[in-house]
């Protein structure tokens, strides 16, 4: 009876409500279809957005199809590329030496020649330190009239053989010669500036076969850098010689916003000095402009102080590691004729240099801070790699006054633990045996750092 009742009721229900149910089923199916479509298009859109952004990351053959959108947020370089000066120079940050940090105005041709000799003898030249750059004070205090043309000339007391002879000497060693000028009336040490003399001076530098020009910002006559610096770019371009153009504008007018179309590098900060406070402050300022740097145009946080005596071994190691990660020009600023074994060890760490010279050219940046005043820091950047692998350079930097554990979750680095292939310690020169599932970390001494390359295979793949 009961069964009958149910059956009857079922039958009568289906008879009465079938159209209604069918309508509901249709509505649900349509809804499901829309849902499915929107999931797939949003997935597609996410992928398209990801690949659009990765066009920037894709320079130098980086495989854009394997980048997860997480990377694009963390290692964004979307400001790179639209403005870069394309003079074929500076595909990787320049490496070499500069006289200013150690010698100041006490520079002469003997120092330059002996430095070139030392770069070769120590093996630094072979590691890539090829520019030998004379900073301020090389020039005679007045221009010399040659057939009515007021030409720059070297100081006859300190550079009696002339700059062309010095260039020949440096070139003979397989190195390159850099020189210093100023986009104002005078250089900072009151030698003749090039403002108004750009064409003439560029021709003179080219005739001396100079390879690099650092162009300073003193005595600017109240004219904006955005007017003064392009004039020398155009003058250099008009010579037949390729001259690396290093803009030294001290970050006054936010050069990252305009200098990429003018020079191959641009100083982002005031002068560095040989102290922990100065070095850390400068690293932080330079970090703000990470999205703007890349092959052909680099943020320049000023030259290295490693080996000048004002910082500890650990502090210099941090200085070098962070500069390498930030894709800063690696211009040695100490007396390479008299380096301690520790200084040479830091400057010649090939694994760290390779991070700096990586062909992707993506500036590593601060991605995580913890501890008092954020003194426990994690810096990281993407490196070039062959698909499907991805490589990250990671620096754990302890800016606190005591040794501490620094850790960061894998996710914050954009990494999924299950796909990690290896982690290599660039200062210990060995692979780590074991790593934790949830986070990455290590005990780091005060003011010291650890630097790693982590290789992994992301899960995000393109079907094409
Ligand atoms: C400025 C620059 C320094 C150095 C000196 C030389 O201060 O920023 O790097 O070149 O001038 O006078």
| Collapsed DSSP state (helix, strand, coil) of residue 36 | helix
Residue 222 — left, alpha, or beta (φ > 0 → left; ψ -120 to 50 → alpha)? left
Active site residues: 216, 271
Residue 294: which residues within 8 A CB-CB, separation 6 or more?
Answer: 56, 59, 77, 80, 81, 84, 361, 362, 363
Q: What is the mean pLDDT of residues 284-301?
A: 96
CATH architecture of 59-75+364-458: Sandwich (2.60)
Q: Which atom of ligand 1 is nearest the CA belonging to 248?
A: 8
Tell me the CA distances in angstroms from 193 to 140, 196, 208, 220, 325, one per residue in order: 11, 9, 18, 9, 34
pTM, 2 dp: 0.86
Least confident of 51-65, 94-108, 192-206: 51-65
Q: Which atom of ligand 1 is nearest the CA belonging to 180?
A: 10
Mutation probe of ligand 1 site: the residue of 97, 100, 182 with most atoms within 8 A of C-beta: 100
Q: What angle (nearest 5°) sits at the alpha carbon of residue 72, between those of residues 71 and 73? A: 90
Least confident of 76-85, 288-297, 414-423: 76-85
The answer to whether residue 58 scores a pLDDT higher than 60 is no
Q: What is the pLDDT of residue 265?
A: 98
Ligand 1 mean position, distance from CA 136 (Å): 7
- What is the residue-averaged pLDDT of the chain? 87
Least confident of 69-78, 85-94, 119-128, 427-436: 69-78
Q: Are 273 and 303 in contact (CB under 8 A)?
A: no
Q: What is the mean pLDDT of residues 423-449?
A: 95
Mutation probe of ligand 1 site: the residue of 179, 182, 188 with most atoms within 8 A of C-beta: 188
Location of each CATH 2.60.40.1180 domain in the chain:
59-75+364-458
Q: How far apart are the first and last CA of the chain?
A: 63
C-beta atoms surrounding 458 within 10 Å:
18
Location of each CATH 3.20.20.70 domain in the chain:
95-356
Q: Which residues pair with 331 in a beta bridge?
A: 96
Name residues contacting ligand 1 (CB within 6 A).
100, 135-136, 188-189, 216, 248, 250, 271
Q: What is the pLDDT of residue 50?
A: 34
Q: Which residues pair with 132 in a beta bridge?
A: 97, 177
Domain 95-356 class? alpha beta
Q: What is the mean pLDDT of residues 158-181?
A: 98
Residue 411 banded pLDDT, cuts 50, 70, 90: confident
């Amino acid at each position: 009876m009961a069964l009958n009742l149910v059956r009857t009721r079922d039958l009568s229900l289906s008879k009465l409500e079938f159209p209604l149910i069918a309508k509901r089923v249709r509505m649900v199916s349509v809804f499901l279809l829309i849902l499915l479509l929107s999931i797939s298009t949003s997935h597609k859109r996410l992928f398209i957005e990801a690949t659009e952004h990765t066009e920037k990351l894709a320079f130098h053959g980086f495989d854009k199809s394997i980048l997860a959108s997480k990377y694009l947020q963390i290692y964004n370089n979307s400001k790179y590329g639209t403005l870069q000066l394309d003079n074929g120079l500076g595909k990787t940050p320049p490496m070499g030496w500069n006289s200013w940090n150690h010698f100041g105005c006490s520079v002469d041709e003997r120092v330059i020649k002996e430095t070139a000799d030392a770069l070769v003898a120590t093996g630094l030249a072979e590691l890539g330190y090829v520019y030998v750059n004379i900073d301020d004070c090389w020039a005679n205090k007045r221009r010399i009239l040659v057939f009515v043309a007021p030409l720059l000339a070297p100081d006859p007391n300190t550079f009696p053989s002339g700059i062309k002879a010095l260039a020949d000497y440096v070139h003979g060693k397989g190195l390159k010669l850099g020189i210093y000028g100023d986009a104002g009336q005078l250089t900072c040490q009151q030698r003749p500036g090039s403002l108004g003399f750009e064409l003439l001076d560029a021709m003179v530098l080219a005739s001396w076969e100079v390879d690099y020009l650092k162009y300073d910002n003193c005595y600017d006559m109240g004219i904006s850098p955005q007017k003064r610096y392009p004039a020398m770019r155009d003058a250099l371009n008009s010579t037949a010689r390729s001259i690396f153009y290093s803009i030294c504008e001290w970050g006054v007018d936010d050069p990252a916003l305009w200098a990429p179309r003018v020079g191959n590098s641009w100083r982002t900060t005031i002068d560095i000095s040989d102290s922990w406070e100065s070095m850390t402050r400068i690293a932080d300022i330079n970090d703000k402009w990470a999205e703007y740097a890349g092959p052909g145009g680099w943020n320049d946080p000023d030259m290295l102080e490693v080996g000048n005596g004002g910082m500890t071994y650990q502090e210099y190691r941090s200085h070098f590691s962070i500069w390498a990660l930030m894709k800063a020009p690696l211009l040695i600023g100490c007396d390479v004729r008299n380096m301690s074994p520790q200084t040479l060890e830091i400057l010649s760490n090939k694994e760290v240099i390779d991070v700096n010279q990586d062909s992707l050219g993506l500036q590593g940046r601060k991605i995580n801070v913890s501890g008092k005043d954020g003194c426990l820091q994690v810096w990281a950047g993407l490196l070039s790699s062959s698909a499907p692998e991805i490589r990250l350079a990671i620096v754990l930097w302890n800016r606190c006054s005591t040794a501490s554990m620094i850790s960061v979750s894998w996710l914050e680095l954009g990494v999924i633990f299950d796909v990690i292939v290896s982690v290599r310690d660039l200062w210990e020169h060995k692979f780590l045996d074991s790593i934790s599932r949830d986070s990455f970390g290590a005990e780091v001494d005060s003011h010291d750092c650890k630097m790693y390359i982590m290789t992994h295979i992301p899960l995000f793949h393109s079907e094409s």
